[in-house]
Structure 1
Amino acid sequence: MTMTADDRFDGSVEILRSPYEGKRNEIVTGPVSDWATDFSHTEPEWAADPYAIQDDLRGRCPIARTERFGGAWLPTRYEDVADIAYDTEHFSSRSIIVGNFRPPREIAPIGGVPPISSDPPFHHDARKLLLPAFTKTAISRHEEPTRAYCHSLIDALDGQDVVDAARDYAQHIPMRVIAGMLGFPPEDGPRFREFVDDALEGVNLTPEDRRERMGRLFDYLLDQVRDHLAHPRDDLTTYLANVELYGSKLDPSHVAGTMALLLIAGIDTTWSAIGASLWHLAKTPADRERLVAEPSLLPTAMEELLRAYAPVTMARLVKEDMHWHGVDMKADDWILLSFPAANRDPAQFERAGEIVIDREVNRHAAFGLGIHRCVGSHLARMELRVALEVWLQRIPAFTLADPTAVTWATGQVRGPRTLPLRIGG
């Protein structure tokens, strides 16, 4: 059937910016006095090594508190993280990024980036729309193009003694894959990097600045939707623009919000996992050499690398004042839901602080827990596996060129932003 531009997507994008309005709280950056009472995941020491901080808190103050961000909590035990993730009665997902302001309650149950920002019962139906595109069978169709692209990236590194594996390899892979799934121009990759930074690392911007930056993302997304409606093709953007929920096509805010989720979450989380894995193998020659010698071990090793270096920390908002697990939480307090901390809990994992690449029992929480467990886990696993397979096949020997030159992203998605590796023995 011939399709024409849909007037749902004409005009202003103001409706799409409303989740980025709210009451501003105090500045959130600055030195931490005590991680138990003044934590901040935006500080450089957290980005450099959050695990020592989390281990200390787990031992002396398993649910830390801060007055920053207008009030927030940080559980560090697996049990507490899981309890919150599964408890949709007391905790809302309407905003998943801790920042210096809260979006209004009125955006629930849909939230700004459904389905990850959605509460029940809407969440179930919004998530169901995405499932067909992220089955193992659907994802398998992207494997060979991903493998070919990884080889082309390594071809471009030929002759270099030192390469930045984060900027020259890891970050490009999910950008290309997600752009292909959404039907976006692959040459727009640099814009995707800006969108990621705006969404995940700009938490201390004013609501006005954040609204303006997110407006640029939504302008881009709606331009893509209009182009897809005028020139339909077999991709996720055309699908979302035309699919129906409850007998009607999706609201523009739902379409653009879901596309923003796929673009931002689908890129940063995976490039962070690829980069952290290469960082570990560069500094741990025994693990690297074993994987080169035993490539069949990679799927098992990959799960351990996901456990140990889980990139994603989510957020929840407390719905109402309550006493929970020994602490008094207030309505609209943030919960920093640290899956990385849960994955390092010795009560849940033997040798939790060690990386054991042949660990057989590994029910990690790298992809989250509860109703919001990552819908794209099959995609992320495929990208990580293929990226490591190709790298280890083509570059079996590599080390950190300068450990002090490695930098890590701050905020709720942690991964190397610069990763200088020396190629060869």
Structure 2
Amino acid sequence: MTVDDRFAEDHREPRGDAPLQGTRTEPVIGPVSDWTTDFSHMEPEWTADPYPIQDDLRRRCPIAHTGRFGGGWLPTRYEDVAAIAYDTERFSSRSVVMSNFRPPREIAPVGGVPPISSDPPFHHDARKLLLPAFTRTAVAKREAETRALCHELIDALEGRDVVDAARDYAQHIPARVIADMLGFPTDDGPRFREFIENTLEGVNLPPEERIERMDKVFDYLFKQIRDHVAHPRDDLTTYLIEAELYGRKLEPSHVAGTIALLLIAGIDTTWSAIGASLWHLARTPADRERLVAEPELLPTAMEEFLRAYAPVTMARMVKEDMRWGGVDMKADDWVLLSFPAANRDPAQFDRADEVVIDREVNRHAAFGLGIHRCVGSHLARMELRLALEVWLERVPVFELADPAAVHWAPGQVRGPRTLPLRVG
């Protein structure tokens, strides 16, 4: 089979949430009756401010349960989150987005978006393919163009008293960087935003509609892949098309799934981290003024922003019925690994509920724990550091224009979607 045959125009592979033989549940939407027995990460109060809820659960019920999404669990202690993240024998990663649709067990160990959806032993080899593109050395080569982009975005804000730092600044930085890495059109940013919303914020949609939306994502990806087949170039997409595992070229579903992961997760997580950091500085003048005066402190402060406002929560699926941590988990129950909750566990961090921008010991879990720790962490750190560095250099004085106008993304990646700042 040639590369062209693999990516024929009418070629379609089962992928991600698409297999129709998966298990569906009716969506349950509405106010939470009791967070210990009916939690939902999609409800407005969680989206607006999940930390008091997590803190209360950690004290009263460290592993909460819900009947929503067909049944799931929410550990809130660092030790429990870490234990599950490292336990690949009893917990599967075949679907990392908790929704009302469970893909069938047959898609393991690859999953729909490898390697984050992959279980051992396949996971190790799929992840290894990506490592060269995300080393410190490879990422450092992108610093100059990323810094120039940050300046370009701020130039476009000149003359405005109020700017939306999420929509007009934060979202564009990772979108442009990952598009360039993949060799995708850099002006497709609005389309990437739509893909993110469809994938991560539409988890309560009817499964058929969710599948239809995911098809749009993969239709776009296969179009880009076929263009790379016809016109190879030096980028990550061509690399994946030509890569081999076990002496064979990657399956089309593997190539497209990995690109979907890089595109969607690579944008949303960093967009959210940049926005949350700017939100904190806008509402905390003392920290903003100190970082402007002491720019050398930024790398340390950045790690604290990642700890305090970790954007990512990942799901696992229970493999078999078992008793774990004092609760009875059933096969195919979801488990939400809330890295934000783990990062605010007072048993793990001193002054866990405070943002301490000169915190020296900070082994946070913002990039995950275990075998799925974020492969792009060096890239994310570079983007976050430069975004904050350039912003503080160019816009040293800013505040929230209207705290009530700040809106946060619902779901498993949390960051401000609108962030109106008064500047100057």
TM-score (norm 2): 0.98
Shift of the alpha carbon at 1:387?
A: 0.2
Q: Structure 1 stretches (4+) deviating beyond 4 angstroms? A: none
1:272-295 deviation line (CA, Å, top 9, x unaligned): 000000000000000000000000
Task: Please say if 1:200 is aligned against 2:200.
Answer: yes
User: Which letter does structure 1 place at the counterpart of 2:178?
Assistant: I
Q: Which residue of 1 aligns with 2:170?
A: 170
1:16-75 deviation line (CA, Å, top 9, x unaligned): 446323222121321100100000000011010000000000000000000000000000
Q: Which residue of 1 aligns with 2:216?
A: 216
Q: Aligned to 2:116, what secondary structure does the other structure show?
A: coil
In structure 2, the CA distance between the partners of 1:179 and 1:351, relative to structure 1 (3 Å rule), is: same
CA distance in 1, matches of 2:29, 2:9: 37
Q: Tell whether the 8 Å contact from 2:406 to 2:419 is kept in structure 1 after alignment.
A: yes
Pairs within 5 Å for 1:16-415: 16-17=14-15, 19-20=17-18, 21=20, 22-415=22-415
CA distance in 1, matches of 2:355, 2:128: 35
Q: Tell whether the 8 Å contact from 2:16 to 2:95 is kept in structure 1 after alignment.
A: no
User: Which letter does structure 2 place at the counterpart of 1:77?
Assistant: R
CA distance in 1, matches of 2:262, 2:297: 30
In structure 2, the CA distance between the partners of 1:19 and 1:392, relative to structure 1 (3 Å rule), is: same
CA distance in 2, matches of 1:242, 1:269: 28
Q: Tell whether the 8 Å contact from 1:16 to 1:215 is kept in structure 2 after alignment.
A: no
CA distance in 1, matches of 2:312, 2:11: 29
Q: Aligned to 2:226, what secondary structure does the other structure show?
A: helix
Q: Which residue of 1 aligns with 2:8?
A: 10
CA distance in 1, matches of 2:24, 2:245: 34
Shift of the alpha carbon at 1:13?
A: 4.9
User: Which letter does structure 2 place at the counterpart of 1:379?
Assistant: L
CA distance in 2, matches of 1:174, 1:76: 29
Q: Tell whether the 8 Å contact from 2:85 to 2:370 is kept in structure 1 after alignment.
A: yes
CA distance in 2, matches of 1:234, 1:16: 28
CA distance in 1, matches of 2:15, 2:391: 40
CA distance in 2, matches of 1:18, 1:340: 25
1:164-190 deviation line (CA, Å, top 9, x unaligned): 000000000000000000000001111
TM-score (norm 1): 0.98
The unaligned stretches of length 5 or more in structure 1 are none
CA distance in 1, matches of 2:333, 2:301: 37
The Cα RMSD (Å) is 0.9
Shift of the alpha carbon at 1:202?
A: 0.6
The unaligned stretches of length 5 or more in structure 2 are none
In structure 2, the CA distance between the partners of 1:17 and 1:208, relative to structure 1 (3 Å rule), is: farther
In terms of mean alpha carbon deviation, does 200-209 or 83-92 score higher? 200-209
